[in-house]
A and B are shown apart, each in its own frame.
Chain A
Amino acid sequence: MTENPYQPVLATIEKIKVEVTGERAIKTFKLVMQDKKIQKEFNFVPGQCVMISRLGKGESMFAISSSSTEKDYLEVSVMKQGINTSALHETEVGDTVGVRGPYGNHFDVEGWKNKNIVFIGGGIGMAPLRSIANYTLADKNRDQYGNLDIIYGARTSNDLCFKDEFAELQKREDVNVHLSIDVVEEGWEEFVGFVPSNLLRVKPPSKNTIAITCGPPIMIKFVIQNLLELGFKDEQIFTTLEMRMKCGVGICGRCNIGNLYVCKDGPVFSNAQLKNLEGDL
């Protein structure tokens, strides 16, 4: 039989971590392919995406949030929003989901060696950035990159993803974590304000630096503006976009921005590319 690109493989949920509770609940699912051979051959690069399906409830595209240095599993961080994501939030450890992918292009982790990297995330937009951040921070990779800065914010302290991981990273000497929340909260000791403002406060030097940003469209817009103000060139700024997707392989048509399909030509775009791209974002 011909390989069917629409048919997922089965994976087992090994672990579920509650990242955010409440209205904008986020959980991170650790998935292991049921077929050991498929898991072994599942290679991806940070920035790539997977289609995850609670069988019977549909399928949605997620950025892989774990690092590709972890070979035995993959993680996706899912905000409870629609039918499939709500059903995923109701699953338990040991349950089965469908997985297709990996899809799309990726961050240029090879080309960015010996450079400083600043990660600028907002809300659930931290998910793809966590993949590359953990990749560069992995023991075997850390010395191949320069300074690493993580600028991350959410509406409230409850809405911050990966809180425990940031707490660990804040103890490390080889990475700087700058967290923020949008409005004042009792007991919050870090920056209060929007992510683009925190970026201006941190002022990462642009020399030999790559900036990667992901978050709500409005945040990305002002982050890019501020990066340009800080002296970053369009070629140094990268973002990862999302669109409604179905097939994941450039056939079903809906995720286009101009003549490019986010599922296969993206999701990672440089600002130089975005500037020349006319389309509905």
Chain B
Amino acid sequence: MESLIISKEKFPEIINTIVKSYRLFAPTEENGFSGFNIIKDYSEMDLSYLNSRMPPKAILFNQTETLFLMEPGTKGTIKPKEIRNEKTAIFAIRPCDAKGFRILDTVFFGDVVDPLYKANRDNSVLIGLSCNQPDSSCFCTSFGDSPASGKYVDILFTDIEENYLVEVMTEKGKDFINDFSRFFSPASSKEIEAKNAKEQEAIGLIKRNLKVEGIEEKMDKMFDHPIWEEYAKKCIGCGACTYLCMTCRCFDMLDEGTLDKGARIRVWDSCMFPEYTIHTSGHNPRPARMNRVRNRFYCKYSYFPKNSDVIACTGCGRCIRYCPVNIDIIELMNRVSEMEL
């Protein structure tokens, strides 16, 4: 790993240089929230928010995406979709969200590889930005991660006042930096220490902890526990938690088109909706909200650990921040964790 610095004075210039050769996604202000968008100029970027409302999963796993084209009908044909390989950089992705991609990888690169996600992933450089000011819903440290972790990104920027400390974490990150090397100079030990101090300070700001140890084993014995019904009574089934979750990846597939032109597309879907599982016969394996709420928590804290050896939660805090009825995953999971069975 190589540590560099870039002065904040040079920062606008490097962004405006990157946009010339990359599709650059960066946080921008949208309707009072932050959101990742393609920017063409440094001035469009807004780093004053802690994190985007919509997770950056949307950049690599589009909310609506064409899978292939067709001429519909009983004499129809199929035309493959051209997979675009666009050089993409995601700037100021937070360490928790970058970990989210690592978790999504376990599904999209499982027994079968999803070629659309793969093309996007392969063509993207993740340039992280450490969180110097985590908020009251953040809990990445519960999973042994840090708000200034470079583990899941190619390059990590940390704001150390006059400069950014730039840590090059991967070969992909190195190649990227090499293209823009004139903006960077080697970091001194003082600057590296400054980053460490910022990191410790940020860790200190994270006040909440989700006790992950032993949760999977506890949940093995709690499928019929009344706690799921208790939380289901509060839930209004809006699905916001799933759309805003960096690790939720469920999708629907459907045919769209006119009489002679069409496509099969996929769109994000949510296990919070009854239609998600209903059979054509009318039978629904998850007919009640309790079944759906339970599935969501089991998916993240039991099924993912069993199938992919990782909890599908990064501690980004979005589901806590945006739940309209204040369902708090930390509170729930800590009750599970402390349950006497």
Contacts and interface: CB of A to CB of B under 8 A. Distances in A.
Interface stretch (B31-39, B87-95, B103-111): B103-111
Contact of A91 (B72, B74, B251, B285): B74
A254 B277 CA distance: 6
Nearest to A85: B280
B262 interface: yes
Nearest to B283: A217
Nearest to B119: A2
B280 A60 contact: yes
A200 B83 CA distance: 57
B72 A250 contact: no
Interface centre among A5, A242, A259 (most CB of B within 10 A): A259
Given A55-B76, A58-B254, A81-B280, A259 B307 contact: yes
A4 B81 CA distance: 9
B336 to A, nearest CB: 15
Interface string A1-35: 11111111110000000000000000000000000
A252 interface: yes
Interface stretch (B18-26, B63-71, B197-205, B317-325): B63-71
Nearest to A256: B303
Contact of A259 (B80, B283, B306): B306
Contact of B279 (A4, A53, A243): A243
A250 B84 CA distance: 24
Contact of A4 (B76, B115, B223, B276): B115
Contacts of B74: 54, 91-92, 95-96
B68 A6 contact: yes
B75 A250 contact: no
Interface string A41-58: 000000000000111111
Interface stretch (B125-133, B140-148, B263-271): B263-271
Contact of A95 (B75, B116, B254, B286): B75
A251 B107 contact: yes
Contact of A253 (B116, B251, B281): B251
Interface in B228-258: 249-255, 257
A247 interface: yes
A56 B285 contact: no
Contacts of A54: 74
Contacts of B249: 251, 253
Q: How many interface residues does chain B have, given as a range?
A: 35 or more
Contact of B78 (A7, A82, A253): A7
A170 B285 CA distance: 37
A159 interface: no
Contact of A280 (B254, B295, B307): B295
Most chain B CB within 10 A, of A55, A252, A258, is at: A55
Interface residues of A, number: 47
Contacts of B269: 252-254
Given A251-B112, A254-B269, A280-B285, A55 B253 contact: no
A56 B257 contact: yes
Given A5-B114, A60-B280, A246 B67 contact: no
A278 interface: yes
B176 to A, nearest CB: 23
A1 B72 contact: no
A26 B133 CA distance: 62
A5 B117 CA distance: 12
B302 interface: yes
B113 interface: yes
B226 interface: no
B250 A252 contact: yes
A10 B108 contact: no
Given A56-B70, A56-B72, A250 B110 contact: yes
Interface string A183-198: 0000000000000000
B255 A6 contact: no
A245 B83 CA distance: 25
B48 interface: no
A5 B271 CA distance: 23
B118 interface: yes
A98 interface: yes
A247 B110 contact: no
A59 interface: yes
A246 B78 contact: no
Given A4-B68, A253-B271, A281 B285 contact: yes
Given A7-B68, A81-B280, A246-B251, 6 more contacts: A54-B74, A56-B70, A57-B72, A249-B112, A253-B249, A258-B298
20 contacts: A2-B115, A3-B115, A5-B114, A7-B67, A8-B78, A10-B77, A58-B254, A59-B253, A81-B280, A82-B280, A96-B75, A96-B76, A251-B112, A252-B250, A252-B266, A253-B249, A253-B251, A254-B250, A256-B303, A259-B303
